[in-house]
């Protein structure tokens, strides 16, 4: 069943009605060619979702009747903020898509010493807009209860300050050999965790020292060297497995 996100104000529980506005209207009517009477899923971006029946389709709005509330826990207990050293464009798109599917809550773009890609301020708005759309589509496809936030581009120093707001931080580093993510977060009782992943060229020794100075745990992702787009997804998946909802025991 196709899924769409709406603002909370567009859900009227008194009348059991809901409306969809914006670009999704065209997608529903022109791409999916939905008809009156068909059912779709609607989420209010805050973990509440409904099964709805289409009652009217116009140029600017789709009107719905709420049939049922869906009682499924979609989001993890631990909040993950992924600090991504800015990679090249195509890699960034894949990272955003896959991190959304896995269950990351927030993705923060960081300009590091070895970041090859640069975001032109004149084009930044358009890039961010495209990247946010990729996140939105991935959230719909993977049936997220929220739409992950995208922030940045932060300087490395700004990212370090932001990481101080997390209960715990980890940083995968290819020269670390003994401390795994499992070992670093064992018995952790936390609500939020930051994961800092370097760009294509990795993290410099100076940057690793700075990360450690704010109390972050430098960890290994195993004996093989992973690309940045792989490392981000693997690290997030391990954290969710160990601390939350990716296959772990109840």
Look-up of token digits 């989001």 = 75
Examine the pLDDT at 124 and tell me if it is beyond 70.
Answer: no
Higher-pLDDT residue of 152, 237: 237
Q: Region 122-142: what's the mean pLDDT?
A: 88
Query: What CATH code is carried by the domain that includes residue 13?
Result: 2.40.240.20
In the prediction, which pLDDT does 249 show?
53
Examine the pLDDT at 27 and tell me if it is beyond 60.
Answer: yes
Give the predicted TM-score (pTM) of the model. 0.90
Examine the pLDDT at 21 and tell me if it is beyond 70.
Answer: yes
Query: What CATH code is carried by the domain that includes residue 196?
Result: 3.40.1280.10
Residues 110 and 193 in one domain: yes
How many domains does the chain divide into? Answer: 2
Q: Region 75-93: what's the mean pLDDT?
A: 91
Residues 126 and 64 in one domain: no
Residues 96 and 44 in one domain: no
Mean pLDDT score across all residues of the chain: 92
Range of the domain at 176: 79-243
Residues 53 and 124 in one domain: no
129 falls within a domain: yes
In the prediction, which pLDDT does 116 show?
72
Q: Region 110-132: what's the mean pLDDT?
A: 79
12 falls within a domain: yes
Q: Region 14-36: what's the mean pLDDT?
A: 94
86 falls within a domain: yes
Q: How far apart are the first and last CA of the chain?
A: 28
For 9-69, the DSSP string reads GGEETTTTEEEEETHHHHIIIIIS---TT-EEEEE-SSS-EEEEEEEEE-SSEEEEEEEEE
Residues 27 and 101 in one domain: no
In the prediction, which pLDDT does 123 show?
61
Examine the pLDDT at 39 and tell me if it is beyond 90.
Answer: yes
Examine the pLDDT at 120 and tell me if it is beyond 70.
Answer: no
């Amino acid at each position: 069943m196709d899924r769409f996100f709406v603002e909370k104000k567009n859900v009227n529980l008194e009348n059991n009605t809901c409306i969809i506005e914006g670009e999704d209207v065209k997608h529903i009517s022109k791409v999916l060619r939905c008809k009156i009477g068909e059912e779709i899923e609607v989420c209010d971006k805050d973990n509440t979702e409904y099964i709805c029946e289409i009652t009217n389709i116009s140029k600017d709005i789709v009107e719905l009747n709420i049939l049922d509330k869906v009682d499924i826990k979609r989001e993890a207990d631990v909040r993950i903020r992924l600090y991504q050293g800015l990679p090249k464009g195509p890699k960034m798109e894949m990272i955003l898509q896959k991190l959304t599917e896995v269950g990351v809550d927030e993705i923060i773009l960081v300009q590091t010493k070895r970041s090859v890609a640069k975001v032109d301020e004149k084009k930044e708005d358009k890039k961010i807009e495209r990247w946010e759309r990729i996140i939105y589509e991935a959230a719909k496809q993977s049936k997220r209860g929220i739409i992950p936030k995208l922030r940045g581009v932060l300087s490395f120093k700004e990212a370090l300050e932001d990481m101080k707001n997390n209960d715990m931080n980890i940083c995968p580093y290819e020269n670390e050999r003994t401390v795994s993510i499992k070992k670093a977060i064992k018995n952790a009782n936390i609500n939020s965790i930051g994961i800092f992943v370097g760009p294509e060229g990795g993290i410099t020794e100076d940057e690793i020292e700075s990360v450690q100075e704010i109390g972050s745990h430098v960890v290994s992702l195993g004996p093989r060297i992973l690309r940045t787009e792989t490392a981000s997804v693997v690290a997030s998946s391990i954290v969710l497995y160990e601390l939350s909802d990716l296959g772990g025991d109840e």
